[in-house]
């Protein structure tokens, strides 16, 4: 015969039971990096496949012959960039005393987009646009992550200050 376990509302609502409530995407860093690198690799492979098919079809139409691309598609670079972004975000979290907030995500996006633009030798106008768009996306992603942490009753320092000032 099995024993029954009583669960009360207090034991479910207890913040001590959810050890990952302050983590991004509710995952510990190792699991988050594994999931995001795997997902980004798969998405990059699909994007690379799509670009390869598109380029091949255009070549076939213009040259009336099918040629394989001379370089590997953007899938590996995309996976490396996304893995580098989330790894850099984690390093910034650790370097700031395990402070998880939008600032680290925005900084990681800025550095990643800057590196990507310089690595691919984009023009100054393209570099400026790439950095602006990358930083804006990083800011958006960081704010969404902070909102999700706060919605799970996690600790986000600037939201805690705002809600405390509102209560006073």
| pLDDT tens, residue by residue, 53-91 | 887 766 665 554 334 434 555 567 767 778 888 999 999
Per-residue pLDDT, 65:
36
Query: What do you get for the CA distance between the two ends of the chain, in Å?
Result: 54
> What are the distances in angstroms from CA 91 to CA 8, 21, 29?
38, 19, 10
Q: Is the pTM of this model over 0.85?
A: no
Whether pLDDT at 106 is above 70: yes
Please report, for the chain, the start and end positions of each structural domain, with discontinuous segments joined by +.
24-148
Mean pLDDT value of segment 25-30: 83
| pLDDT tens, residue by residue, 142-163 | 999 999 998 898 888 888 888 7
Per-residue pLDDT, 35:
86
Per-residue pLDDT, 1:
54
CB 25 within 8 A of CB 32: yes
Please give the structure tokens belonging to residue 114.
């800057």
What percent of the chain is predicted at pLDDT more than 90?
Answer: 25
Tell me which residue of 96, 94, 91, 82 sits closest to 141, measured CA to CA: 82
Whether pLDDT at 34 is above 60: yes
Mean pLDDT value of segment 15-21: 71
| pLDDT tens, residue by residue, 110-144 | 999 999 889 888 889 989 998 999 999 999 999 99
Spatial separation of the C-alpha atoms in residues 13 and 48, rounded to whole Å: 45
Q: Across the chain, what does the average pLDDT equal?
A: 81
């Amino acid at each position: 015969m099995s024993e029954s376990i009583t669960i009360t509302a207090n034991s479910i609502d207890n913040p001590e039971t959810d050890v990952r409530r302050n983590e991004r995407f509710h995952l510990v860093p190792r699991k988050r990096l594994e999931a995001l690198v795997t997902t980004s690799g798969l998405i990059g492979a699909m994007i690379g496949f799509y670009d390869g098919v598109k380029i091949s079809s255009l070549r076939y139409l213009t040259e009336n012959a099918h040629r394989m691309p001379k370089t590997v598609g953007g899938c590996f670079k995309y996976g490396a960039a996304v893995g580098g972004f989330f790894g850099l975000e984690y390093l910034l979290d650790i370097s700031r005393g395990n402070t998880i907030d939008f600032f680290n995500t925005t900084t990681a996006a800025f550095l990643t987009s800057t590196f990507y633009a310089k690595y691919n030798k984009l023009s100054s106008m393209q570099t400026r646009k790439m950095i602006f768009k990358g930083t804006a996306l990083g800011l958006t992603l960081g704010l969404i992550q902070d909102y999700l942490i706060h919605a799970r009753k996690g600790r986000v320092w600037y939201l805690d200050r705002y809600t405390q000032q509102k209560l006073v």
